[in-house]
């Protein structure tokens, strides 16, 4: 069942995300962080995704980014599961980068990315939709900022992976989803975002 883009549950999800992302801003900007999950929800709604998927899209960064102020990862997982159900929690966890592996060993930044891509194999269709929408908004935001600046390095330097690693990441996500047989209509938009970043990144100084 598709969503019309608003329900009490979606409103509740926005309130929950706003509470936990409070005082957070987007990298290199003054934009409230909540603008990101809001845009992910818009993208998912535009493709007619159901309420469960839209709610998961709104909450997708809470566990990854909001372990602070007394909220541990376990507490955040429990709160999401209790308030929004196991299906939403499973979707959020599938698109959350892990800091440690199953044995409790801390993962490096590159290992976290590899782990994320590997876990997409076991992720639900719903989680793959959220993954694609997340990357479309993040990648499109980077592209928009690059087009507005006279100094592209001020944008690329926001990311620890630099220009080359950042551009490569969006291509890797697209190729991984395609490899797994995810052929939803959103994939064309994700491919376009990856290609645009490759074009904008071509010839820029490597960092």
Model pLDDT for residues 85-125, shown as the tens digit of each residue: 999 999 999 999 998 888 888 999 999 999 999 999 999 99
The token pair at 154 is 């001020």
Which residue has tokens 């290199």? 28
d(CA 33, CA 67): 15
CA dihedral 38→42→48→53, nearest 10 degrees, is: -20
CATH code reported for the domain at 8-201: 1.10.3210.10
Least confident of 33-37, 66-70, 117-121: 66-70
d(CA 1, CA 121): 25
CA dihedral 97→146→58→169, nearest 10 degrees, is: -30
Q: How confident is the model at residue 2 (pLDDT cuts 50, 70, 90)?
A: low
- Say whether pLDDT at 3 is over 70: no
- Say whether pLDDT at 69 is over 80: no
Which residue has tokens 């989680």? 127
CA dihedral 38→177→74→35, nearest 10 degrees, is: -10
CB atoms within 10 A of CB 14: 18
Task: Give residue 203's pLDDT.
Answer: 58
Alpha carbon distances (Å) from 126 to 85, 130, 155, 192, 203: 14, 6, 31, 21, 36
* DSSP assignment letter at 108: P
Q: How confident is the model at residue 207 (pLDDT cuts 50, 70, 90)?
A: very low
């Amino acid at each position: 069942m598709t969503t019309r883009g608003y329900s009490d549950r979606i409103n509740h999800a926005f309130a929950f995300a706003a509470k936990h992302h409070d005082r957070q801003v987007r990298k290199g900007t003054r934009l409230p962080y909540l603008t990101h999950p809001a845009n992910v929800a818009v993208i998912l709604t535009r493709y007619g995704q159901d309420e469960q998927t839209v709610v998961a899209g709104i909450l997708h960064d809470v566990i990854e980014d909001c372990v602070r102020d007394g909220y541990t990862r376990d507490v955040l997982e429990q709160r999401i599961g209790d308030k929004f159900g196991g299906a939403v929690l499973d979707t959020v966890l599938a698109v959350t980068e892990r800091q440690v592996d199953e044995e409790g060993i801390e993962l490096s930044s590159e290992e976290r990315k590899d782990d994320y891509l590997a876990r997409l194999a076991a992720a639900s269709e719903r989680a793959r939709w959220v993954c694609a929408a997340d990357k479309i908004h993040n990648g499109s935001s980077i592209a928009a900022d690059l087009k507005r600046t006279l100094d592209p390095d001020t944008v690329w330097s926001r990311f620890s992976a630099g220009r080359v690693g950042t551009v490569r990441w969006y291509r890797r996500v697209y190729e991984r989803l395609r490899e797994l047989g995810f052929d939803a209509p959103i994939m064309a938009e994700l491919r376009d975002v990856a290609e645009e970043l490759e074009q904008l990144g071509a010839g820029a100084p490597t960092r």
